[in-house]
């Protein structure tokens, strides 16, 4: 009986395998994230062009439409489309097992 228990313990130790964990994000994911970061920086740069002088005209119009309408759209695309896409896109391995 004791020999069976000892053999069972040895079998359990032999069955353990090494678990290999690979980082899920690949080089392509980081390239897309960099494009997203550049898009966000472009949006903030366009938003800063509205600074200075008179911010709005007397009749209620703004001096620079890039700062008011284009830059928020670019920021939304960067934050809500490109960055999540770079995280969620899966580039599988081409290994054949």
Over residues 28-76, the pLDDT tens digits come to 999 999 999 999 999 999 988 876 666 666 666 667 778 888 999 999 9
Q: Domain count for the chain, please give it.
A: 1
Burial class (CB in 10 A: 0-12, 13-18, 19+), 43: buried
Asked whether residue 30 is domain-assigned, the answer is: yes
| Two structure tokens written together for 26 | 């690949």
* Residue range of the domain that includes 39: 24-97
The predicted pLDDT at position 84 comes to 97
Asked whether residue 60 is domain-assigned, the answer is: yes
Asked whether residue 5 is domain-assigned, the answer is: no
- Stretch 9-28: mean pLDDT, rounded? 77
Higher pLDDT, 81 or 13: 81
Asked whether residue 95 is domain-assigned, the answer is: yes
Higher pLDDT, 93 or 83: 83
Backbone angles phi, psi at 74, to 5 degrees: -65, -40
Banded pLDDT at 9 (limits 50, 70, 90): low
Asked whether residue 7 is domain-assigned, the answer is: no
């Amino acid at each position: 009986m004791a020999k069976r228990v000892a053999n069972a313990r040895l079998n359990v130790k032999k069955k353990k395998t090494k678990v290999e964990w690979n980082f899920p994000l690949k080089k392509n994911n980081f390239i897309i994230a960099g494009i997203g970061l550049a898009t966000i920086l472009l949006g903030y740069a366009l938003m800063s062009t509205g600074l200075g002088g008179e911010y709005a005209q007397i009749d209620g119009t703004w001096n620079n439409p890039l700062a008011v309408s284009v830059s928020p759209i670019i920021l939304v695309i960067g934050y809500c489309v490109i960055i999540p896409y770079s995280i969620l896109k899966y580039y599988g391995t081409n290994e054949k097992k």
